[in-house]
Chains A and B, each alone.
Chain A
Amino acid sequence: MSEQSEGSLQPSGGTRQLGADFPLIFEESRPGRRAWSLPDVKVDAPPLEELIPSNLRRATPPGLPQVSERDLVRHYTRMSQRNWAIDVGAYPLGSCTMKYNPKVAEEAAGLPGFSSIHPMADDELVQGALELLGLLQRALCEATGMAALTFQPAAGAQGELTGLLIMRAWHRSKGDVRKRVIIPDSAHGTNPASVTLAGYEAQEVRSDDRGLVDVDALKAVLDDDVAGLMLTNPNTLGLFERDIQEIAAAVHEVGGLLYYDGANFNSIVGIVRPGDMGFDIVHLNLHKTFATPHGGGGPGSGPLAVSQRLEPFLPAPVLEFDEGSERWGWQHDRPDSIGRIHSFHGNFGINVRAYAYLRSLGPEGLRRVAELAVLNANYLKTLIEGSFPTKYPGSCMHEFVASATALKKHGVRAMDVAKRLIDLGYHPPTVYFPLVVEEALMVEPTETESKETIDGFAAALNQIAEEAQADPALLHEAPTTTPVRRPDEARAARRLKVRWSGP
């Protein structure tokens, strides 16, 4: 099978594969082939039959593939070529902050003093790693305007749950059991899902005709049963919630807390801090703002920072510096802690990368990130708004949500625009989110894309708007340059096949 497929895939990511289906590694398997190389047992110990009771001994080894190392390398190398990546081209997915990931950070994470250390090693053995976390903790607290932080959350959604459980613990510490958390209708789906998991009821508040939280609608639902408000600022429409002071005052007035979803922190880093806006709890997505690679959808890192009054509730243990011994160490004695949220200390390897990025940029570099991310988004918006208008007037922050509604009369949908973009050599933006914009195209170029790339992307979009009118079939048939074309998602769900189960 592997020999048959040779030459059928050209060596660039976007090429179409002719002939047979791209093989699974299981289909390349041949009994007796092997890649593994492990020692003989070489110790004086009884055979397995004497060590493992017969009812627990595996009768048939698992049906894993049997391939040579050459098979393995070619299979995965070719498969990788069937994939887009930020190292291949721009990835303007709104709300995802797909910026370039510097290679120096990879080098850092691979240093043996970071990559080969055991998570339960004595603090004394890992002082270098703890110092790195300590310095990153200080810098992130400064950048968010918060007092303390935990690195345990492995991703933003886990940070959300951690923050909501802290919110819950804080209210309960005052004998106050509240039931609802308010969320704008433009919020990411993780917000309401985390609210439910934390034992709260999610209550949506609508956006007004500015695309911002409707402050009157918010005030109407605020009462002493509201535990807090979760807000992404700028919001998922790429708009800064300019009424934030009034919002914060109103939530605090009823004894609620403000949670900052850091999904869009990239656009304000160094310019305005969540703490100064009145937020009490902040999660950051280090894989976004701090440029760590997204790995095909993880690993991320979602550290959670809180104001001083919430510090006692952070997950245990907490990293502290002992002035006397000049040593970093984990403080486990935390009677008010909500408890542990991760098996160990969170995604340390990602935090190393984020630290390398932060030290590379420094204060001016971080501010420039926000400035150029916002400049790029506004520039792109200007170039395409003739074809793809935005619903809300004025300038945007790091992203904007354009609409493809104007093309509907030609039978063209946002998804068709996305697929045609692929043929023109670009990864599409996020489509159909947020839900408050019809035929949404949510675009976030990030600060690492050049003017030339944005010009090219805008030209492609404008060309597509013309094609929609002149030749809509071109859009409906797209993409034609990829290894597969418009996979049938309904069939995938209906005739569920989620593993290889033999030829």
Chain B
Amino acid sequence: MDFTPHTPEDVSAMLEAIGAPSVETLFDAVPEPVRLGRGLRVPESLDEVELLDHLRSMAARSKGAQELICFAGGGSYDHHLPPVVHALASRAEFSTSYTPYQPELSQGVLQALFEFQSSICALYGMEVANASLYDGANALVEAVNLAVRSTGRDRVLVGSSVHPHYLQVLDTYTSGLELDIVRLPVAEDGVVEWSEVPAEGAAALVVAYPNFFGRLEDVEAAARVAHASGALCIAVTDPTAMGILESPGALGADVAVGEGQALGNSMSYGGPYVGLFATKLEVVRQVPGRIVGETRDADDRRAYVLTLQAREQHIRRARATSNVCTNQTLMAIAAAIHLAWLGPEGLTRLGELCARRTAFAAKRLSEIPGCRVRFDGPRFKEIVLETPLESGRLARALAQRGFIAGPSLGSWWPDLTNCLLVAVTERRTAEDITGLAEAIEKELAEQ
């Protein structure tokens, strides 16, 4: 099945109009020696019945939040996905449209992105948000690049409590530009001592809010120290916390970035997700990616267009603010719909559910003999649980008992080999949490 509509008669009529004897001759420019000259060695075509059977049998050999009670975290979360979000975002007019190059035919997508930008600004306490980036890591990279360009400095101080994958991506992305990325250690309580950080000559300080261990960092202190040295403060911020936590903008951060998966998008093995990026208007011309702006049309009606395109690669080429071309529009639209579904009260309830159920889980899990919760202090929706077992082994054992948790922290922090990350979203009930604790107790008892 190849989804082409051509009948043999169509092909003949078209060739005749072109004046070509065969389709083959249209490829005359391809030199004979480089042609494949055989069929591709890929599996034979499947009809739709066979194809769905094949796909379903593979899907059945993967287990996620549908089969297991999901306490997994670390940048991807099992939050409630309101059916209305999928119903609207998957409308073909959104999902099968292209970049809004012709604004007259794209007011739907453009306005949805304008609403997305507005909601992200409201969450983060910022003045301008772009129309999204690839993912949380990519948003962090672009924020660092903005800081480097704005300050003319090439040293960046990052809390080592930022998502370790984001820091790896930052290292990769900046290897070509040869930036000096310095990792700041965390103290015994799992947060960086921001007031002690020597920020002279830095382009940016990067703080995670909450951090990878679920702990709340002192964003205000990070911003203060950054500004005292002329650096920018970049806050990697969980949008689901913004109903209960003060916005990074209000705490003094200059750029707020984050992963928007939790806003209306499924975990989907890590993508497609959506990178959130918001900052202050004074650096708007340094912002990467697409931005939608409001204007008037020829008949003085309100209209939306892609704006400030002179920043972008298709105009500025080698001197663009970023090489980003596409964004994650469809995920951004889902996020905008999810945020409108929540409203201010729903977002506050969501935050309260996460924080208080996490507090309940921390208490219950720390009561397991031989276990303790590391990094004491205020946290949002994640806990670092230390047990007597290597945590990868414990996670595999828990999967057998119907739970998924993690990641295990040993691969990034060798001294945390027995530490497992446990995330508690609004979907996790008291029974789920007690069940997890009992499963761990049983597993330890059987060792």
**CB pair A189 B314 closer than 8 Å:** yes
Rounded to whole angstroms, the CA-CA distance of A14 and B104 in the bound complex is 9
**CB pair B34 A202 closer than 8 Å:** no
Docked complex: B423-440 residues within 8 A CB-CB of A: 426, 429-430, 433
Known: A342-B271, A448-B3, A498-B293. A165 touches B176 (CB 8 A): yes
Docked complex: B70-90 residues within 8 A CB-CB of A: 70, 72, 74-76, 78, 80, 82, 84, 87-88, 90
**CB pair A98 B269 closer than 8 Å:** no
**CB pair B320 A43 closer than 8 Å:** no
- Contacting residue for B115 out of A109, A127, A379, A500, CB 8 A: A500
Q: Does A436 contact B (CB under 8 A)?
A: no
Q: Does A406 contact B (CB under 8 A)?
A: no
Q: Does B227 contact A (CB under 8 A)?
A: no
Q: Provide the B338-367 mask, 1 if CB < 8 A to any CB of A, else 0.
A: 011111111111101101110110010000
- Contacting residue for B36 out of A44, A270, A448, A450, CB 8 A: A270
**CB pair B317 A202 closer than 8 Å:** yes
Known: A343-B75, A496-B281. A484 touches B308 (CB 8 A): no
Rounded to whole angstroms, the CA-CA distance of A298 and B99 in the bound complex is 8
**CB pair A122 B313 closer than 8 Å:** no
Rounded to whole angstroms, the CA-CA distance of A46 and B379 in the bound complex is 13
Rounded to whole angstroms, the CA-CA distance of A244 and B29 in the bound complex is 10
Chain A residues near B98: list those with CB within 8 A. Answer: 86, 91, 93, 96, 98, 294, 296-297
- Contacting residue for A129 out of B26, B88, B269, CB 8 A: B269
Interface of A is mostly: loop
Docked complex: B108-126 residues within 8 A CB-CB of A: 108-109, 111-115, 117-119, 121-123
**CB pair B72 A113 closer than 8 Å:** no
**CB pair A340 B172 closer than 8 Å:** yes
**CB pair B245 A116 closer than 8 Å:** no
Q: Does B312 contact A (CB under 8 A)?
A: yes
Known: A36-B346, A192-B317, A497-B294. A342 touches B137 (CB 8 A): yes
Known: A65-B340, A197-B173. A118 touches B72 (CB 8 A): yes
What's the least CB distance linking B226 to chain A, in Å?
Answer: 17
Rounded to whole angstroms, the CA-CA distance of A201 and B319 in the bound complex is 10
- Contacting residue for A56 out of B19, B115, B135, B245, CB 8 A: B245
Docked complex: B1-49 residues within 8 A CB-CB of A: 1-6, 10-11, 13-15, 17-20, 23, 25-31, 33-36, 39-46, 48
Q: Does A472 contact B (CB under 8 A)?
A: no
- Contacting residue for A343 out of B15, B163, B347, CB 8 A: B163
Chain A residues near B243: list those with CB within 8 A. Answer: 58, 61-62
Docked complex: A274-293 residues within 8 A CB-CB of B: 276-278, 291, 293
**Looking at the complex, which of B182-190, B200-208, B323-331 is the stretch in contact with chain A?**
B323-331
- Total contacts A-B at CB 8 Å: 725
Q: Does A25 contact B (CB under 8 A)?
A: yes
Docked complex: B225-245 residues within 8 A CB-CB of A: 242-245
Please tell me the number of chain B residues within 8 Å of chain A, measured between CB atoms.
Answer: 210
**CB pair A108 B55 closer than 8 Å:** yes
What's the least CB distance linking B63 to chain A, in Å?
Answer: 5
What's the least CB distance linking B352 to chain A, in Å?
Answer: 6
**CB pair A359 B51 closer than 8 Å:** yes
Q: Provide the A253-284 mask, 1 if CB < 8 A to any CB of B, else 0.
A: 00000000000000011111100111000000
B70 to chain A: closest residue by CB: A118
**CB pair A25 B115 closer than 8 Å:** yes
**Looking at the complex, which of A215-223, A304-312, A368-376, A459-467 is the stretch in contact with chain B?**
A368-376
Rounded to whole angstroms, the CA-CA distance of A369 and B297 in the bound complex is 40
Chain B residues near A29: list those with CB within 8 A. Answer: 343
B145 to chain A: closest residue by CB: A197
**CB pair B173 A341 closer than 8 Å:** yes
**CB pair B135 A36 closer than 8 Å:** no
**CB pair A340 B168 closer than 8 Å:** yes
Q: Does B291 contact A (CB under 8 A)?
A: yes
Rounded to whole angstroms, the CA-CA distance of A440 and B228 in the bound complex is 51
Chain A residues near B31: list those with CB within 8 A. Answer: 242, 244-245
**CB pair B327 A298 closer than 8 Å:** yes
What's the least CB distance linking B40 to chain A, in Å?
Answer: 4
Chain A residues near B159: list those with CB within 8 A. Answer: none
Chain A residues near B106: list those with CB within 8 A. Answer: 83-84, 296
**CB pair B4 A43 closer than 8 Å:** no
Chain B residues near A339: list those with CB within 8 A. Answer: 168-169, 171-172, 175
Q: Does A409 contact B (CB under 8 A)?
A: no
**CB pair A273 B426 closer than 8 Å:** no
Known: A48-B356, A86-B96, A272-B34. A498 touches B107 (CB 8 A): no
Chain A residues near B74: list those with CB within 8 A. Answer: 120
Known: A36-B345, A66-B343, A343-B169. A43 touches B5 (CB 8 A): no
**CB pair A52 B245 closer than 8 Å:** yes
**CB pair A451 B10 closer than 8 Å:** yes
Q: Does B138 contact A (CB under 8 A)?
A: yes
What's the least CB distance linking B394 to chain A, in Å?
Answer: 11
What's the least CB distance linking B406 to chain A, in Å?
Answer: 6
**CB pair B135 A85 closer than 8 Å:** no
**CB pair B298 A486 closer than 8 Å:** yes
**CB pair B60 A196 closer than 8 Å:** no
B423 to chain A: closest residue by CB: A118
**CB pair A349 B268 closer than 8 Å:** yes
**CB pair A451 B13 closer than 8 Å:** yes
Rounded to whole angstroms, the CA-CA distance of A87 and B5 in the bound complex is 15
**CB pair A369 B4 closer than 8 Å:** yes
Chain A residues near B269: list those with CB within 8 A. Answer: 114, 117-119, 126, 129, 344-345, 348-349
**CB pair B123 A56 closer than 8 Å:** no
30 A-B pairs with CB atoms under 8 Å apart are A45-B356, A57-B246, A58-B243, A64-B122, A64-B123, A79-B112, A85-B92, A113-B56, A117-B62, A120-B406, A122-B406, A139-B42, A154-B138, A190-B313, A198-B176, A269-B40, A296-B94, A340-B168, A343-B138, A343-B259, A343-B271, A344-B271, A362-B46, A374-B27, A395-B20, A448-B3, A451-B13, A486-B298, A498-B129, A499-B121
Per CB-CB distance, the 6 closest pairs between chain A and chain B, nearest first, are A344-B270, A113-B59, A362-B45, A36-B346, A295-B330, A119-B270
Q: A36-B346, A269-B40, A451-B10 are in contact. List 16 more A-B contacts (CB 8 A).
A: A61-B243, A66-B343, A79-B112, A101-B95, A112-B66, A114-B62, A116-B266, A124-B399, A142-B41, A193-B313, A244-B31, A272-B35, A293-B96, A298-B327, A301-B272, A362-B45
